Amino acid sequence: MVRTPHGDVRGTYEDGAGYGKIAVFRGVPYAAPPFGPHRFRPPVPPEPWAGVRDAVAFGPTPPKPPYSQAFARYLSDPVVPGDDCLNLNVWTPEPGRGARLPVLVWIHGGALTRGSSAVPVYGGGAFARDGVVLVSLNYRLGVEGYGLFPDAPANNGLRDQLAALEWVRDSIAEFGGDPDRVTVFGQSAGAISIGALLAAPRARGLFRRAVLQSGPPEAFDRDKVRRMVRRMAARLKVPATAEAFAAVDRAALAEAQAEAGKLSSPVLGGPAFGLVVDGDLVPTDPLAALTGQGASRDVDLLLGWTRDEHRLWLVPGGLLERVDRLGSVALAGARARCRCGPEVPRGYRDLHPDKSTADLVGRLVTDHLLRVPLHRLADARLGHAPSYVYEFAWPSRLPGLGSCHALELGFVFDTGATEASAKLAGEEAPRELATTMHTAWVRFATDGDPGWQPWDATHPVRIFDEGEDGGGDGDGDGVVHGPYDRELALWDADARRPPITPASSGVPRRGTAAPLAAVRRFRRAP
């Protein structure tokens, strides 16, 4: 039994799978249910409870549409019904004040529309086994957390995450954690959220280190989010206001969201939900704040990606083959998606003549969305707190996926034996690689050093692959220097080139008529 600011909770001791004896507390409320008067509003503390609250099962998950059948084949996303969805879980080897153990706080991904802390891959037993307190949390998703309305504040899902971190600050010592040794880590939308928290003045002091897995600091264009809300409003036949949406049944809202977002993806673009600059919690673009304004330069960073991020976006549903059939049209669409000049895709073709069109498109978009901003973030922090960069390169045992988006998660959590992890990795994923990667995250949370050379002018990247040295031309410790420097040079040259107008070239450089027509053909392709 542990005391929290809102009441006592009773967890359970669990044993097995090599974890030893650890204490687990699930479904602990950190904020009131975000419904009724709290719907589309910032989180508020939960009502205190009398007596002892059982915390032995995962709490309710936030409203969300299910994954499509194509993606559900690879990704697990449990649903737990109920209103009290702003809850969190704690795995600890030593509950009670005095232990002062390092703390990892997990923020899940899922495009800010899906996912929860109940996904089995995110089990915290291995971290607790290795002396780290693991906290995972739920936050509002989709239109509930990131809808943009004239009558409600923006970024409520991010506000939920901030409230959970404040709960950690105030409560984690009772669970054996050290509030001064908190590391936040997240993947995809979770990493994007952490980028915003790094740039948010209100989050200062809530964590000491941060891990960004396959997600850069970014803010969405406000009109892109508004278009998503308007599409939903048109389907629901209600005004595009928080008041009108709050009167809609949750299931109908989730169904309308799924329909409105069908054509949205990292490769195709399109309307989607995302963090926006709100002048309050997110006062400016997070990447600009971190690279140009010096925000959080005293926070240690671990950041990276998977080698074939794009294959999770393209393989389900057969999009990979469709992109290959489109050929030059797909490359023109990717150019518009990335808002770059023609020299960039041409340079990728020259650098990678053996790659298929789909892999070129995927790599182009992945670099634009992910590797380029993360490289620039690490470069901007030289001379300040260290940054460590990694790449996960082990390919899934399932056909076509390669080293795809989210594949590293079972290795980071050391949960490869779960059925949910095998859905993406296949059977018999290498245990040694899981031990190596999980240990790096434990080391980073413990003392800020994951075990390889910090970022410098030589661009060291730790490659996690089945081979001990990561393959390639590494140093024997899995580190390769500058593996993406040639691609980065193309983007740097493109950024320096002045805009070319339609009148001077006949082909607009920044993605207007001709490339946008290619994008539309790309989306409609059978």
Catalytic site includes residue 328: no
Cα angle 505-508-509, degrees, rounded to a multiple of 5? 100
CA dihedral over 2, 4, 9, 13, signed as positive or negative: negative
- Read off the tokens for 163: 């409230």
Angle of helix 319-326 versus helix 513-524 axis, rounded to 10: 140
Pairing outcome for strands 12-14 and 2-4: unpaired
> Which of 174, 309, 408, 487 is labelled catalytic?
309
> Which residues pair with residue 104 across a beta bridge?
134, 183
DSSP code of residue 457: T
Contact (Cβ atoms closer than 8 angstroms) between residue 215 and residue 195 = yes
Write down how long the chain is: 526
DSSP code of residue 514: H
Catalytic site includes residue 188: yes
> Which of 116, 117, 136, 188 is labelled catalytic?
188
How many DSSP H helices and E strands does the chain contain? 21, 14
What is the C-alpha separation between 198 and 192, in angstroms, rounded? Answer: 10
Helices (H), 41-89: 69-72
Catalytic site includes residue 321: no
What is the C-alpha separation between 194 and 182, in angstroms, rounded? Answer: 13
> Which of 310, 368, 405, 438 is labelled catalytic?
405
User: Which residue from 327, 229, 321 is spatially nearest to 273, judged by alpha carbons?
Assistant: 229
The dihedral region occupied by 141, where left means phi > 0, alpha psi between -120 and 50, and beta the remainder, is: beta
Long-range contacts of 247-253 (CB under 8 A, 24+ apart): 250/63, 253/63, 253/143, 253/144
> Which residues pair with residue 106 across a beta bridge?
136, 185
Residues identified as active-site? 188, 309, 405
